[in-house]
Amino acid sequence: MIVDKYDGCLVMEENDLQCTLSEFKNNRSTPEYIERGILKFIFHKNNIPYNSECSFEDLLTCLPDEVLNNITTGVKAMFFSGNKIDYKSFHDSYLFYYLEANIFKIWKPMLDLQLNNLLKKDLVILDIGTGPGSIPVGVIEFYKLLSVKYPEIHFSIVIDIIEAEYKFLEIAEYMISEVISLTTPNLKVNLRKRVHQILDDEFDYSGMDTYDLITMSNFLTVNERDNVKRGASILAQLSGILKDDGSIIVIEPGDLVNGKMLKNIRNEITNSSNMNVYSPCSGVWEKKKNFSCNCYSPTRTYWETPRLHRFLYQKGINKAGREQLPFQYVVYRLDGLTKYYVVRNKQHYIQLKDLSKHINEKVNVKANIRSVIERRKSNQWAVLLCDGSCIFDKRDSEIKAVMQKTFLIEMGLIFPVITGERLTLKNVRVKSTKYGLELKISKDSKIDIEY
């Protein structure tokens, strides 16, 4: 890896792609110091003596029933009333459950940038609605990994955060400093500005810097009503403090309702401002300037269920037992760049909009992965595709490539596919099913993936 001397971006050399992707081969696992940091905060707040010599399991047994009940009740109740969320009694529950559930989601959009040499070695980042600091913690962990792999490069991160709730600002500051205290010698992190304010129409941007990355995670969700209503205008205003080569990353939960809202906002902002979508959606055959589609395309992070979640699961919180974390995201930029180039040479390929004319024929297709569904019973993957030529507004309009899980490995592709990768499929048979068109992959098919 080298650093571009003009824009300060990390530029991949020969082996860097494999080396970077190899990080994504295995499940993510939360370092124990992050989980200890969470416990330490909760212990201090509740005046429980914290003994750092104790094993993790022993610390968990020191949590009094009353504290634990508050946490579990909060995790169960927090987002289920259907009303606008009021975090008043939920800060500890959010920290205990959601910090870990959210830190690794940012890795995917950051990887999208890194793969195109667009990630800066010195990063100035603004995180909005930081909560317990989930995104800054995730960004620091990503850079820690880089700094270990590339000890000759000196990395730095300057972090500003905006948060409406003072209690969350305190927690975020605590968690970020816990993580900073264990950085590597060649990574410098500075939590610079903590803005305790609601980001609304009156927000005064004049005191803010300009940023390489502006992030928001679970900020434009159903539970944050006013933000959703103002989603496009918030993003348009934020583009004014984004560097010309910076990115805005929006991450939202992996459900249908939030997915639709994320895309409605995306459609509105791309139609009304100079921001463009960098990833995960991009047209294969022509550049998409405006978006009107609204399909459901969750991505996921695979992880080792962390200790705190396993503990909550034992206490009856079923959702703490998840093996994957579904989420949705959009990366916006101002410079017109998209993750993938437009393919000019269309000959020998069938666009997805024309596939129905080729039922039972073998064809070649180039498309981006919208989402991946695991069919456990048949040990298959159904990979939902999009090339920008058509819209998937109903379940029976889906187009999927169906393959045995072992197929990619047999083809020498050992990294998991999740969302946004570009697939080239050759010699695949088009089948019509009650759930839409499927591309059947057989032994004489060929597959290529661009990450």
Ligand X SMILES: C[S@@+](CC[C@H](N)C(=O)[O-])C[C@H]1O[C@@H](n2cnc3c(N)ncnc32)[C@H](O)[C@@H]1O
Q: Does 130 bind ligand X (CB under 6 A)?
A: yes
Considering only residues 348-377, where is the footprint of ligand X by CB under 6 A? none
Selected from 72, 134, 299, 419, the binder of ligand X by CB under 6 A is 134
Our CB check for ligand X shows the closer of 200 and 323 to be 200
Our CB check for ligand X shows the closer of 223 and 282 to be 223
Our CB check for ligand X shows the closer of 217 and 301 to be 217
Classify residue 30 by its DSSP letter. Answer: -
User: How far apart are CB 130 and ligand X at their closest, in Å?
Assistant: 5
The count of C-alpha atoms lying within 13 angstroms of the C-alpha of 395, restricted to the half-sphere facing its C-beta, is 4
User: How far apart are CB 128 and ligand X at their closest, in Å?
Assistant: 6
Contacting range for ligand X; rule: CB under 6 A; set: 67-75, 123-131, 386-394, 420-428: 123-131
- Tokens 């991009």 correspond to 282
Which amino acid type is present at position 451?
Y
Our CB check for ligand X shows the closer of 234 and 441 to be 234
Which amino acid type is present at position 197?
Q
Our CB check for ligand X shows the closer of 198 and 449 to be 198
b/e per residue 194-231 (b: at least 16 CB within 10 A): bbeeebeeebeeeebeebbbbbbbbbbbbbbeebbebb
Considering only residues 193-252, where is the footprint of ligand X by CB under 6 A? 198-200, 217-219, 224, 227
Selected from 59, 75, 164, 189, the binder of ligand X by CB under 6 A is 164
Selected from 165, 173, 212, 398, the binder of ligand X by CB under 6 A is 165
User: How far apart are CB 330 and ligand X at their closest, in Å?
Assistant: 15
Selected from 34, 125, 135, 179, the binder of ligand X by CB under 6 A is 135
Beta-carbon contacts of residue 6 (< 8 Å; ≥ 6 apart): none
Phi/psi of residue 335, nearest 5 degrees: -95, 10
In this structure, the dihedral spanned by the alpha carbons of residues 116, 119, 121 and 122, taken in order and rounded to 10 degrees, is 150
Q: Does 146 bind ligand X (CB under 6 A)?
A: no
Closest CA to 196 of 287, 130, 122: 130
Question: Rounded CA gap, 287 and 272, in Å?
Answer: 17
Q: Does 179 bind ligand X (CB under 6 A)?
A: no
Question: Rounded CA gap, 44 and 328, in Å?
Answer: 35
Interface with ligand X: number of residues (CB under 6 A): 21
Give me the sign of the Cα torsion angle 29, 121, 300, 219: positive
- Burial classification of residue 23, based on how many CB atoms lie within 10 Å of its CB (0-12 exposed, 13-18 middle, 19 or more buried): middle
User: How far apart are CB 415 and ligand X at their closest, in Å?
Assistant: 26
User: How far apart are CB 370 and ligand X at their closest, in Å?
Assistant: 23
- Tokens 């040479």 correspond to 345
Q: Report the SS3 class of residue 271.
A: helix
Contacting range for ligand X; rule: CB under 6 A; set: 33-41, 129-137, 142-150, 409-417: 129-137
- Burial classification of residue 299, based on how many CB atoms lie within 10 Å of its CB (0-12 exposed, 13-18 middle, 19 or more buried): buried
Q: Does 163 bind ligand X (CB under 6 A)?
A: yes
Our CB check for ligand X shows the closer of 225 and 375 to be 225
User: How far apart are CB 203 and ligand X at their closest, in Å?
Assistant: 8
Selected from 104, 168, 278, 311, the binder of ligand X by CB under 6 A is 168
Q: Does 162 bind ligand X (CB under 6 A)?
A: yes
| Residues forming beta bridges with residue 399, ordered by sequence position | 437
Which amino acid type is present at position 62?
C
Our CB check for ligand X shows the closer of 162 and 189 to be 162
Helix (H) or strand (E) holding 401: strand 399-404
Classify residue 400 by its DSSP letter. Answer: E
Our CB check for ligand X shows the closer of 129 and 246 to be 129
Question: Rounded CA gap, 128 and 132, in Å?
Answer: 11
Phi/psi of residue 357, nearest 5 degrees: -85, 0
User: How far apart are CB 167 and ligand X at their closest, in Å?
Assistant: 9
User: How far apart are CB 180 and ligand X at their closest, in Å?
Assistant: 18
Our CB check for ligand X shows the closer of 138 and 280 to be 138
Q: Does 170 bind ligand X (CB under 6 A)?
A: no
Considering only residues 84-103, where is the footprint of ligand X by CB under 6 A? 87, 98, 102
Q: List residues binding ligand X (CB under 6 A).
A: 87, 98, 102, 129-131, 134-135, 162-165, 168, 198-200, 217-219, 224, 227
